[in-house]
Structures are given as structure tokens and as C-alpha cells.
Amino acid sequence: MDLISYLCLYKIPKPIIMNTKLTLTIEQEIIERAKEYAKEKNRSLSDIIENYLKALTKEERKKKITDLGPVVKSLRGSFKMTKSMDYKKELGNRLEEKYL
């Protein structure tokens, strides 16, 4: 059976995402302006806030990953791997040489 037939016959389950209620304390004027903005954009206020929080936390996660120390930053890009190189295998070989 080819891949397309397989995918057509067997549905791959989607992950279950559960929404949870959240209570926020925000100034009344800001709430009113936000509701007006959401109405103009044809979106729910919950959707806008959820997408903002996703973007915010994604940036923080990305920032943590890209925060490199000065030594690592100076070495970044100095080594080019060939496409055929198996990094895990190479690392295993080097560690065997070092410790065995």
C-alpha cells in the first residue's frame, strides 16, 4: 500500500487542545477599546489575546535558544558539516576514542 492510500484509509488523530477559562483584571477603558478593536477585525477578544500570548511566548522561547555565550558566538559558523556526515555517529566515535 502506498503512502497516499494509507493516509486516505487511516485518519491520523489530531492532538486534543483544551481551552481553559482565564480571569484577568484590566482597566475598564482598555477592555472597551479592545472589544471595539476585536469587533472591527471580526475576531473574538479571546482569539486576539491568545494569539498575542502565543507570539509573546514564542519570542521568549526563541530568545532563550539564540542566547549564546561569547565563546560559542565567536565559533558560530566556523565549522561546515557535509550533508552526508552523521553527527550522532561521529560524536559517539569521538567519545569512544576519548573514554575507551
**Model confidence, pTM:** 0.46
Q: Are 38 and 45 in contact (CB under 8 A)?
A: yes
Query: Is residue 26 included in any domain, yes or no?
Result: yes
Can you tell me the mean pLDDT for 37-56? 91
Q: Domains in the chain: how many in total?
A: 1
Mean pLDDT is lowest, of 35-39, 45-49, 52-56, 62-66, for 62-66
Query: Is residue 51 included in any domain, yes or no?
Result: yes
Helices within the chain (DSSP H only): 3-9, 28-40, 45-66, 70-75, 87-99
Q: Which domain holds residue 43?
A: 18-68
CA distances from 42 to 19, 48, 60, 68 (A): 20, 10, 28, 41
List pLDDT tens digits, range 81-97.
777 888 788 888 888 88
| CATH code, domain with 47 | 1.10.1220
Query: Is residue 3 included in any domain, yes or no?
Result: no
Expressed in angstroms, the distance from the first to the final Cα of the chain is: 46
